Amino acid sequence: MTTDLGNAEGMGTRELVHFVTQQTRFSLIADILAHPQQLPSMYELEALNPSVSQANIYKHIQKLIDAGVVKEVALDDGQRRQGYPWKFYGLTDDGRAFLKEHNLLAAEETLQQIYDTISDKPEKMVKYENAPRPDEQ
């Protein structure tokens, strides 16, 4: 598979596998995969990782974006609603292909089923989970 993944970070395939499987980054990828639209907001990622600081979550998401694994997508100005998120995070096509190629997507369906069973989601998280998402990921 030929992609530009990791090139911004100067990584080869082995280094990129190690990079994405770092505990916090892999947890964030799992949260993206588990999300109903596979586009969680920053707040949702923070709520799903209460033991990780907001700054650390942001830092690791940014690293995943820089490596080409994750993308940030935003609602157009006309679609934004006050009190709702407008930026979301999802896998890039290359990121998904890389994870699949290295058998790192095997638990995707299980992650989604586990996410569906979370019964004690904060009200704000449920609100954000149901917020409009960009049409084009």
Which tokens sit at 131?
């917020």
Percent of the chain past pLDDT 70, that is, above it, reads 92
Beta bridge partners of 88: 73
Domains and CATH numbers, the chain: 7-129 (1.10.10.10)
Give CB contacts under 8 A, 24+ apart, made by 52-60.
52/24, 52/27, 56/24, 57/24, 57/28, 60/22, 60/24, 60/25, 60/28
**Which residue matches tokens 């799903």?**
48
Which residue did the predictor score with more confidence, 77 or 9? 77
Cβ pair 25, 32 in contact under 8 A: no
Percent of the chain past pLDDT 90, that is, above it, reads 64
What is the pLDDT at residue 119? Answer: 86
- Phi, psi angles (nearest 5°) of residue 5: -60, 135
pLDDT band at 109 (very low <50, low <70, confident <90, very high): confident
